[in-house]
Amino acid sequence: MTLSPDVPESLVDVAETFGLGVALSLMQHFGGQEVEFPRRKPSAELVKVLGEGVAAQLCHFLSGQRLYVPHGRSRMRRLDVQRLADTGRGRREIAATLGISQRHVRRLANRPPDQLPLFPDD
């Protein structure tokens, strides 16, 4: 399965096994937190977010592990800057649209792209 480059490394296995939607739901609801996946019954919060079946399967998959769930905002912000720049908008307009400083827009726009893996799995 080819995943979007937006999936953080810590959630790649979850996204490949349960789908991108599950990984994104975890990021949306638990972003920036460490989540413990109990060996037996999933927590009420996990059930509320993912549903009982998926939460139980995920707890079985990650049995007893603690997983840091990144919020992914910085990566998304960089993609937003790139997308708006590609439409011809200036950095001042991009900063106003995204609610960030022009300096931060410049930093994100000038940052080199993420390096591709040296030895890809495929």
Q: Which tens digit of pLDDT belongs to each residue from 33-89?
A: 999 999 889 999 999 999 999 999 999 999 989 999 987 777 778 888 989 999 999
Please give the Cα distance from 60 to 115 (Å, whole number): 33
Token pair of 39, please?
A: 């060996």
pLDDT at 59: 94
Our measurement of the distance from residue 74's CA atom to the centroid of its chain's CA atoms, rounded to an integer in Å, reads 10
pLDDT reading at 114 higher than 70? no
> What secondary structure letter does DSSP report for 14?
H
Phi, psi of 104 (to 5 degrees): -70, -40
Same-domain check for residues 61 and 85: no
Give the list of residues 6+ apart from residue 46 with CB closer than 8 angstroms, or none.
Answer: 35, 37, 55, 58, 59
Q: Are 65 and 78 found together in one domain? A: no
**Residue 14 and residue 37 in one domain:** yes
Kindly state whether residue 121 falls inside one of the protein's structural domains: no
pLDDT attached to residue 60? 93
Claim: this prediction has a pTM higher than 0.75 = no
Looking at the domain assignment, is residue 100 inside a domain?
A: yes
pLDDT over 90 at 117, yes or no: no
Domain that holds residue 56: 9-69
- Give strand pairing partners of 59: none
Q: How far apart are CA 65 and CA 59, in angstroms?
A: 9
Domain membership of residue 117 (yes or no) is no
